[in-house]
Amino acid sequence: MRPTQYLLRAVASAATRKNSLSFIGLGRMGSEMAYNLFSRTLVESNGTARFVVCDAREETSHAFVKNFSAQFPGAQVQVATTPAEALLASRTVVTMLPSSPHVRNVYVEEEGIVSALRSLSPEDARSTLCIDSTTLDVEVARNVAAAVQNTGAAMVDAPVSGGVAGAKAGTLSFLVGGPEEAYKLARPYLLHMGKNIIYCGDSGAGLVAKICNNLILGVQQIVVGEAMLLGQKLGLDPKVLASVINSSTGACWASAVNNPVPGSLPDKSPPCERDYEGGFATSLMLKDMGLATDLAESTGVPLPMGHAAEKIYADVVSEDPELANKDFSVAQQMYSRYVEHVEERKHMERNINRSVVPLPPLPVPSSPSLPPPTARAALLALSMSKKPNAIIFGGLNTCSRTLAALLVPVDGGDRLVEHLRIVDKYSVAPATTYLGSVFPEVLKQPNVEYRQANLTVASTVSSCYEPPAGQAPYDYVFDFTGEIQWDRPEAVHITHTFKIARLIGLEAARRNVPAYVRIQHAFYQCKESGSHDEKEDVKPEGVMGTWWHETLQTELTRALCCSLNLVIVRTALPYGPYVNYHAVIPFIAVAACYGYLKQPMKALHSPGKYPSHTVHVDDIAGAMWACAEWMAKIGRKEADAIAGEEIPFKNEKNKVEEVEGMVPHHQKVIAPLFNIEDDSKVTLVELGNVIASYFGTTFDFHSFVTNMAAKFRLEDVIEDINEVHVSTWTKMITTSNPPVPNTQFSSYMDVYCLKKHVVAFSADKIKNVVGYKLKRPYFNHETVGEMVEKLKAEHSWPNNDP
């Protein structure tokens, strides 16, 4: 019998839920925490308690059950395959996850905790407690807590301090945020996993405290590494130096428990004694430093030490990706390597003849300086005689992965670039965003480099432009950066969209990059009729659309004074394999649900005769490449003359004084702008008919009453609209053959997806001026089917065929 079947029957009993505990996330920290929580609860309950575990890797859950059962024969421990099952099986659920995207998935996606809570009776929901110990973005935590609390359940954020060693010993400190009543409910469970339980205030307060604590820890660990290295080079025994530090004013956890130098703590076993295995991963510390600097950006607090430490961790991960999963104290190794280079250089200088060509510079990060114009021209000529070098900034969570696969094919086709560097805020090992099955293969190709970085830091952006040793400067820069979560605060959109794009554009201009291509997503409301060409005035959609539009203004200003070779590619509604953003993809998932039910698919906004033009991601990638080649050949001045369009001011006038880099509303801004869409030019009703008929059903609209309610207050009808297809999608996932162990795809339509999106961008100009030919000219059964079958092949889309 499958564990999921057992759970689904077991949840029918309220008594079963009351006596059961669920733990989701069995990583290094989570597995130790779950062990302590379960073992101590088991003893406390005289062996009657029941336990449930859930992890993205089901084999990890089974391994935990096997180990725990060996230690406690007769213990009732089951495996849940989804967060919803874990919640339905228990009144108390603890989650310990890598980062914000994982928390969103576990709590608010279809098979998540919130959907399960909504399926319970009001009484059962009110008796449920959720404890999240993830260190994540404060705003995300507060949004998730609100979603849980809206169901009647209680929730606290309870991030931890103490590391893997503290988790194993049960001595963690929990920093708790949430309603005081929820804190009192959570405290007994936290005491089974930790020693110090500190109530910090309302939801998110615990996270703020944890992020501040980890900011200190991240900086301390680097300084301890520097001090230990300095002492060693001056002849001090590491054990003696560590003893002095740990008994003096320099004493801290980074030295006394996590000292980065082997042999420095003879009575302990820090990660450095195990080749830095088994501690707190460098990629996770980089994430935490990013959370701190993001908070600082949004509140205007300067963090010079924090930014410096964040850059060091980013350099460690980018220079040697294998170090991403090792304990963050491994950062000390970067300094050790540098010292080795220094000593090797000194040795060579003592033994070489003065007539020999000077030695190359040391490989230590520093403020980049550009070569003189003549040297740069020579390098550029050399690079352009071969295949160009390219950087892709951002877009792992949208469609930059498709461009990477075009530039460096994994099927044996000719690559378009000599060297490719991809830079984004996400980790790829372990993955903290959906990557699809092709992109990991791209990263394995020669001369392809991934760099995890915080692009809100100017020095970090600048360092990303430095080519690897032996490579020419970058010729093409593709900018996909920007916030795509529509409900984030305006400060986040300003920082993650406007400011990052400005920094990337400024550096591209400073380095005279031959082509800089900026994507502009379909975050606009177009006119329902008209030419739909680049000259047509369109309205940015909400705060998110406004700040995406503003990136064009700041970059264009710099283009006028710094010769930025900018091209803008503005897309219609995207779709295609391995992408999961905007409205079309969930629309396809909804159609799959109604095809499965053999019922008509229904939508809002009857009669749906307005344009909802689409574009395949293969054509977004192809258009961006074609525009880069076009710009590199003719330069900005000629490009403006041929394809320049005025970019109108669309923001509030007072923002110009508040946000550095904005263009005054009266200043005329012109840049090359190209639309990209396919030739289908579908309306909403035509789009719905294509998708629905592919899944063997028909397309219709919700009733007049529902449409009118949605028109005045969409939030009031969103749950009613989602009720049927969300539960159906869950059923399709759980009955899929082969199974779907984990998916990023969802049939849940949030407020943004359900809004009326009038999108129409004629692609005539890019065809005529650049000569671009569409690869996927029509949105039809073939292109939809190809997308679905590829997702089925990677087991991220349900297969319910007989």
Label each residue of 583-617 as H, E or C: CHHHHHHHHHHHHHHCCCEEECCCCCCCEECEEEH
Among residues 404, 389, 392, the alpha carbon closest in space to that of 439 is found at 404
Looking at residue 271, which CATH number applies to its domain? 1.10.1040.10
If you ran DSSP here, which 8-state letter would residue 740 be given? Answer: -
| Structural domain boundaries, residue 25 | 3-203
From the candidates 168, 210, 499, 681, give the one annotated as an active-site residue: 210
Q: Are residues 527 and 649 in the same domain?
A: yes
Strands, E assignment, 416-565: 419-424, 448-452, 476-479, 515-520, 524-525, 539-540
DSSP string across 227-264: HHHHHHHTT--HHHHHHHHHTSTT--HHHHTT-SSTTS
Give me the count of residues in the chain.
802
Question: Side chain identity at 421, as an amino acid letter?
Answer: R
What's residue 340's pLDDT? 60
Mean pLDDT (10-residue bins), the chain, 802 residues: 37 65 94 94 90 94 93 92 94 93 89 92 94 91 94 95 87 94 96 94 90 93 93 91 94 93 90 87 88 84 89 81 86 71 53 41 40 41 68 96 96 92 92 92 95 92 93 96 89 91 92 95 92 92 91 60 83 93 90 94 90 96 97 93 91 80 81 96 95 95 78 75 86 91 86 89 96 96 94 93 76
In sequence order, the β-bridge partners of residue 601 are: 699
Q: Are residues 303 and 407 in the same domain?
A: no
If you ran DSSP here, which 8-state letter would residue 414 be given? Answer: P
Within a domain: residue 660?
Answer: yes
Within a domain: residue 390?
Answer: yes
Contact indicator for 160, 142 with CB cutoff of 8 Å = no
Q: Are residues 99 and 245 in the same domain?
A: no
Within 8 A by CB and 6+ apart from 509, the residues are: 516, 558, 559, 562, 563, 564
174 phi/psi in degrees, rounded to 5 = -110, 130
Q: Are residues 175 and 261 in the same domain?
A: no
3-state SS class at 281: strand
CA distance 403 to 83: 33
* Dihedral angle sign, alpha carbons of residues 395, 401, 399, 436: negative
Within a domain: residue 432?
Answer: yes
H or E segment at 149? helix 138-149
Q: At what angle do helices 718-734 and 584-597 cross, to 10 degrees?
A: 70
Q: How many CB atoms lie within 10 A of CB 416?
A: 18
Distances (CA, A) of 556 to 505, 512, 550, 581: 9, 15, 10, 27
Within a domain: residue 602?
Answer: no
* Dihedral angle sign, alpha carbons of residues 479, 288, 159, 68: positive
Q: Are residues 515 and 458 in the same domain?
A: yes
DSSP string across 150-197: TTT-EEEE--EESHHHHHHHT-EEEEEES-HHHHHHHHHHHHTTEEEE
Among residues 52, 53, 44, 42, the alpha carbon closest in space to that of 75 is found at 42
Q: Are residues 424 and 517 in the same domain?
A: yes
Q: Are residues 517 and 655 in the same domain?
A: yes
Name the domain boundary from 170, 203, 236: 203
The single residue listed with the structure tokens 């400005």 is 502
DSSP string across 538-575: -EE-HHHHHHHHHHHHHHHHHHHHH---EEEEEE-EEE
Name the domain boundary from 142, 169, 203: 203
Q: Are residues 185 and 226 in the same domain?
A: no
Q: Are residues 540 and 480 in the same domain?
A: yes
Q: Is 210 among the residues known to form the active site?
A: yes
Give the Cα-Cα-Cα angle 700, 701, 704 (nearest 5 degrees): 145
Looking at residue 82, which CATH number applies to its domain? 3.40.50.720
CA distance 24 to 4: 15
CA distance 521 to 499: 17
Cα-trace Rg, the chain: 28
Q: How is residue 549 written in tokens?
A: 């539009």
CA distance 688 to 711: 20
In sequence order, the β-bridge partners of residue 20 are: 50
Name the domain boundary from 299, 333, 367: 333
Within a domain: residue 593?
Answer: no
Give the Cα-Cα-Cα angle 18, 20, 25 (nearest 5 degrees): 135
Contact indicator for 370, 382 with CB cutoff of 8 Å = no
Q: Are residues 72 and 180 in the same domain?
A: yes
CA distance 485 to 545: 11
Within a domain: residue 532?
Answer: yes
Q: Are residues 149 and 50 in the same domain?
A: yes
Within a domain: residue 716?
Answer: no
What's residue 342's pLDDT? 52
Report strand pairing: 20-24 vs 92-95.
Answer: parallel
HSE of 384, CA atoms in CB hemisphere, 13 A:
15
CA distance 228 to 754: 57
Q: In total, how many domains does the chain have?
A: 3
Q: How many CB atoms lie within 10 A of CB 223?
A: 15
Contact indicator for 605, 387 with CB cutoff of 8 Å = no
Among residues 73, 212, 219, 59, the alpha carbon closest in space to that of 739 is found at 59
Q: Are residues 116 and 167 in the same domain?
A: yes
Among residues 479, 435, 691, the alpha carbon closest in space to that of 567 is found at 479
Within a domain: residue 260?
Answer: yes
